[in-house]
Amino acid sequence: MFCAISGVVPKEPVVAKTSGLVFEKSLIEKVLKVEEKCPVTGAPLRSEDLIVVQANKVTPPVSNATVGVPGMLRALQDQWDEAMLESFNLRQQLDLTRKELATALYQHDAACRVIARLIRERDEAYQMLNSYKAGSTPSQPSASASSEGPVSAPTASTAASAMDVDDQDREARGVSSEVVAEFNAVCKSLSSGRKQRKPSEHLQSKEDMMLLEESSSYTPHKNSGILSVAVRDNTVVSGGDDRAIVVTDITTGQTQCKISGHTGAVSALATAAGASGLIFSGSQDKTVRFWGANSSGGYAERFKYSQHRASITGVTLHPSGHYLVSASEDGEWHFLDVQEAACLAIVPVSGDVKYNAVSFHPDGLLLGTACSNGQLKIWDAREQKNVVTMTAEENVAAAESISFSENGYYTAAGYGNGTVRVWDLRKQSVAKTYELGQGAVRAVSFDYSGTYLGIGGGGAHGQAIHVKVVKDWSNSVTISDSHSKAISGVAWTEH
């Protein structure tokens, strides 16, 4: 006598009147609570139709499968197989859930991007409508370039007539979520790539650097001082008191071209990588200008930005090449979109402070400004918020220059009293101090590998060049008799 459901000898057997089948009482009652049908025949069956069978209670026989060690091992193996099968099914469900979550997050991010673009287009439409109502014709926004690859010159339609915002109000579009996402992506890529980067085979050793001496001298600005320099490939770009920008071939010393347009001295320069990259200049005429190569081998103005209210003291290009920050003497830094030739943000500083220099961190998330009160302000470029302010406790003078090391940990600042301080960003404290004389240090620059720190200034009148070894902060070489006047800029080639 076996239960029709479980197939084992029932402890409390009952018989169904309608079918005559034997069931375990507790088991059939659970079935009937769900549905009053015989689980075997499907015929209607109620609890009243069950008849209790009076039978002697017997000890159930031991299953042969579990008799002895081999039987127990087989039983354990069966249970293990069932557990593994259940675990496999759970992993499959987890993987499916993760894929569904990733798809949902991607769709959410895409929706946020679309919303941000629509809001920007709406604001542009409102601005155009207001301009029409005021009786003026609004200027069309420039075409957006690709978000990948090196910065290239604007399109032909833009090149035909350089854009000018002299008559615009001081307006900023705001930093969109797309810009923040690009900053985060660039930071992630550069941070991971830095750990895998190997020193260039052309990197000079400490011993070779000690033999550094002047190899050639050029005078690109006749009868005029040089206020800013930048290096790109095999050329050096210089800006001078003569209001001109000169591009000089390093190997031959020949002037490739001379760029005119500023009405004041060119006080700041930055360059984009590649032969088709732009030149960015800031001037004492309160303008920032973008220059692109033209068909004749020279450069033409692509964009003129005129919303600063004081002389430009520094410009720095984001590692992506898509954004530029300019700083001025009135204590403001402006966040510019290079591709769309537009201002995204204007960030003032509180108090009577002016900026003397500005620089992006190698990862692109942080921005450093050197202030006239001796402070170094570190900003979160995505939110335009001052996150750290670093000030020396003694012998404080105006901070004239700033540079971040490629390792991301150190920033160097040159001061007006001939001092250079190297700050550890992790501890927000001074890691090394150099007292180089009385002359102001208006130029500091780490090389591309982060091995050396170049310093321009110090001495009696700011005419000396110093190279420091970052590993132990020792002095590699000092050249004090090369320049006849104070040094205003120092730049390294990549190799």
Q: What are phi and psi of 82, to 5 degrees?
A: -65, -40
Please choose, from the candidates 471, 417, 405, 424, the residue with its C-alpha nearest in 3D space to the C-alpha of residue 442. Answer: 417
| Residue matched to tokens 């675990």 | 87
The pTM for the full model equals 0.64
pLDDT in tens, the chain (495 residues): 788 887 888 888 999 988 889 988 888 888 888 888 888 888 898 888 899 988 776 665 655 655 678 878 888 888 887 888 788 789 889 989 999 998 899 899 889 989 988 998 888 888 788 777 665 433 433 333 333 333 333 433 333 334 444 434 577 888 989 999 999 999 988 887 776 677 777 777 778 788 887 777 888 888 788 899 998 878 899 999 999 999 998 888 888 899 999 999 999 999 987 655 789 999 999 999 999 888 787 888 989 999 999 999 999 999 988 999 999 998 899 999 998 889 999 998 877 889 999 999 999 999 999 999 999 999 999 999 999 999 887 767 899 999 999 888 899 999 999 999 999 998 889 999 999 888 899 999 998 888 889 998 887 777 888 999 888 888 888 887 778 788 888 888 875
For residue 461, the SS3 value is coil
Geometric angle at alpha carbon 362, from 439 and 349, rounded to 5°: 65
CA dist list (Å): 103 to 60, 85, 109, 110: 55, 27, 10, 11
For residues 308, 366, 270, 492, the Cα torsion angle rounded to the nearest 10 degrees is 150
Residue pair 304/287 in contact (Cβ under 8 Å)? The answer is yes
The amino acid occupying position 460 is: A
**DSSP secondary structure, 373-427, as one string:** TS-EEEEETTTTEEEEEE--SSS---EEEEEE-TTSSEEEEEETTSEEEEEETTT
Tell me how far apart the alpha carbons of residues 220 and 238 are, in angstroms, rounded to a whole number.
8
Cα 341 → chain centroid: 20
Tell me how far apart the alpha carbons of residues 23 and 1 are, in angstroms, rounded to a whole number.
9
